[in-house]
Copies of this chain bind each other. A is one copy, B any other.
């Protein structure tokens, strides 16, 4: 304890405010989160919000941009691998299925983990249920490219074009199986008797979804032929 100021000078107010805002906006939603909550959580003065971000709205938009940045660094490389594989001429069905399994596992880890990314998922889901003016930024820079890549992979496995309605719907149903465990967490926990999503629980969920997905793909191929 040698000459330390009262305030931790590790990070500046702007950065701490942004970090805290992800957490607070996720927990309470944009409307319910007050500027006083935000600054209390960040340990900064209330004036920091208009000063650095031009207001509560600006802070929220900064949070959205931060989410996109983290999201792309988290799942982007995985998506890039998918795109590279899809560009190849000799991609085998077994390989494609492996890639899909890996992607489902990655998204589940992202969605169900207790890490900071947990808050991001909450904000993204909230934006979709109740789109705010920043929804477009989120959609065009993150969701749309991600979804399109998965659709192409699933279309390949189904043996149809990625622009077909069936491929698009099928992708949504696969993602829906994952997202329910996030959007209806309280419901899942109560019905299963779990207390949270630990490693074991996440593994059980991922295993179930992968088996379902394989079954859906296999049935489609059988149905076609």
A binding-site residues for B, Cβ under 8 Å: 28-29, 31-32, 122, 125-126, 128-131, 135, 139, 143-144, 147-148, 151, 165-166, 168-170, 172-173, 175-181, 183-188, 190-192, 204-205, 208-209, 211-212, 214-216, 218-220, 223
Q: Which residues of B contact A220 (CB under 8 A)?
A: 211, 215
CB distance from A29 to the nearest CB of B (A): 7
- Given that A31-B32, A219-B211 are known contacts, is A126 also in contact with B128, CB under 8 Å in the complex? no
How many copies of this chain are found per oligomer? Answer: 2
Complex alpha-carbon distance, A148 and B192, angstroms: 11
Q: Which of A28, A168, A170 gathers the greatest number of chain B CB atoms within 10 Å?
A: A168
CB distance from A220 to the nearest CB of B (A): 8
- Given that A168-B191, A169-B208 are known contacts, is A129 also in contact with B125, CB under 8 Å in the complex? yes
Q: Which residues of B contact A175 (CB under 8 A)?
A: 180, 184
Pairs of residues from A and B, 7 with the lowest C-beta to C-beta distance, nearest first: A176-B180, A215-B219, A31-B32, A173-B177, A215-B215, A176-B176, A169-B208
| Contact assessment for A212 and B173 in the assembled complex, using a CB-CB cutoff below 8 Å | yes
CB distance from A154 to the nearest CB of B (A): 12
Q: Which residues of B contact A205 (CB under 8 A)?
A: 169
